[in-house]
Structure 1
């Protein structure tokens, strides 16, 4: 189980969220949205300070992570975060 953030996605987050090198972005489970893994739940992101990191990856100077208590959402799989240039949007895929 791991988190994989592609460079174009990390650059997009840095621009859109005004992030700097050394900042951290938490990926968390939220109620609602269009999640493909668990009906009625989806993933959100927020600039935050890590507490109990379950998985993480540093890309473009930013740490992207999920806390231990949200790893159940991945169900033993990995999370890939990519940027779709055609639609100019982030895509999160559990694989």
Structure 2
């Protein structure tokens, strides 16, 4: 499993979350909503220091990661973080 963050999504994080070098952005399974794999769970995102990184991508010294305990949520798919240009917000895709 890997995390891919598009250039446009990275710019969104810089603008909307004011990320800087050394920051950690966590993607995690949260209760509520739905996803392509799990009813009653959706993907959450937060700025947070890691406990036990399962998967990580580093761009310009910003760490995008998923904790080991949350890897089950992705059902062995890669996470693609993109932009919904219509709403100017983060969008997620899951691909094998």
TM over 0.5: yes
Sort the Cα spacing of 1:11 and 1:61 in 2 relative to 1 into closer, same or farther, 3 A: farther
d(CA) in 2 for partners of 1:58 and 1:83?
A: 18
Q: How many residues were matched structurally?
A: 95
Instruction: Please identify, of 84-93 and 41-50, the stretch whose mean Cα deviation from structure 2 is larger.
Output: 84-93
Mapped pair 1:13 → 2:36: no
Stretches of structure 2 lacking an aligned partner (at least 5 in a row) = none
Stretches of structure 1 lacking an aligned partner (at least 5 in a row) = none
Q: TM-score, normalised by structure 2?
A: 0.90
Mapped pair 1:47 → 2:44: no
* Moved segments of 4+, more than 6 Å: none
The aligned counterpart of 2:77 is 77
What secondary structure is seen at the aligned counterpart in 2 of 1:40? strand
Cα deviation, residue 50, structure 1: 1.5
Tell me the C-alpha RMSD between the 2 structures.
1.3
Bigger share in strand: 2
Q: TM-score, normalised by structure 1?
A: 0.90
Cα deviation, residue 79, structure 1: 0.7
d(CA) in 1 for partners of 2:14 and 2:33?
A: 23
